[in-house]
């Protein structure tokens, strides 16, 4: 079967110049940009879970949070790692200084924790408490945490904006 003039011309052209290749330069540029983007945005800073149910107290603390077990306390309930443990009303009605449900959950968290190597010194925990919770409730929570061997207790706060009047020159 005889080839058409166009088919013969295309065959000669492909023999002479070869087939078209894939331009890898632009593909490499795209992947390089993607790698830099991922490196810049993969920092080790831990974000504390945000909750509209609590309003954290303000502070001028400069230290960033570490990755720890998080106990969140608002006006209605106590949560550990996002799981509801107890209601604030039942804890406040009880006269005990230790919250049994929280103690049990913290023991479970310490068994599952990656902090097992630090167990003899005490484990780390971050308490995110609303600034309106009563001190009696906070004292019960701290007492329960220390009984569960969580002795390195951090309190989460919102960083207060630096006031511009600090360097005003008035003393």
Report, as an integer, the average pLDDT of 79-108: 89
Query: Is the model's pLDDT at 45 over the cut of 80?
Result: no
More confident: 103 or 111: 103
Long-range contacts of 138-141 (CB under 8 A, 24+ apart): 138/73, 139/97, 140/91, 140/96, 140/97, 140/98, 140/99, 141/71, 141/73, 141/78, 141/99, 141/102
Query: Is the confidence at residue 142, as pLDDT, over 50?
Result: yes
Q: State the alpha helices, DSSP H only, in the chain.
A: 5-17, 24-40, 88-93, 100-112, 135-147
The whole-number pLDDT of residue 163 equals 56
For the chain, what is the mean pLDDT?
78
pLDDT score recorded for residue 169 = 44
Percent of the chain past pLDDT 70, that is, above it, reads: 70
- pLDDT for 19 beyond 70: no
CA dist 49 and 28 (Å) reads: 37
Give 39's pLDDT tier (boundaries 50, 70, 90): confident
Q: Of the given ranges (55-59, 92-96, 156-160), which has the lowest mean pLDDT?
A: 55-59
pLDDT at 52 over 80: no
pLDDT beyond 60 at 165: no
* Residue 115 in this model has a pLDDT that exceeds 80: no
Query: Which pLDDT score, from 0 to 100, does residue 140 have?
Result: 92
- Kindly tell me if the per-residue pLDDT of 168 is higher than 50: no
Work out the angle at residue 54's Cα, subtended by the Cα atoms of residues 74 and 134, and round it to the nearest 5 degrees: 45
According to DSSP, the residues that pair with 58 across neighbouring strands are: 158
Q: Give the C-alpha separation, 127 to 138, whole Å.
A: 9
């Amino acid at each position: 079967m005889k080839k058409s003039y166009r088919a013969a011309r295309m065959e000669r052209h492909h023999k002479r110049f070869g087939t078209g290749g894939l331009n890898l330069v632009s593909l490499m540029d795209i992947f390089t940009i993607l790698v830099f983007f991922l490196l810049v945005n993969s920092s080790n800073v831990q974000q504390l879970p945000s909750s509209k149910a609590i309003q954290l107290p303000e502070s001028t603390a400069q230290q960033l949070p570490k990755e720890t077990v998080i106990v969140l306390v608002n006006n209605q309930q106590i949560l550990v790692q996002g799981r509801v443990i107890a209601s604030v009303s039942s804890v406040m009605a009880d006269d005990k200084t230790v919250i049994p449900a929280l103690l049990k959950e913290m023991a479970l968290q310490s068994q599952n924790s990656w902090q097992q190597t630090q167990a003899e010194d005490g484990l780390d925990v971050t308490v995110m408490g609303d600034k309106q919770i009563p001190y009696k409730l906070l004292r019960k929570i701290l007492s329960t945490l220390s009984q569960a061997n969580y002795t390195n207790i951090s309190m989460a706060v919102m960083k207060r904006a630096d006031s511009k009047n600090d360097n005003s020159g008035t003393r």
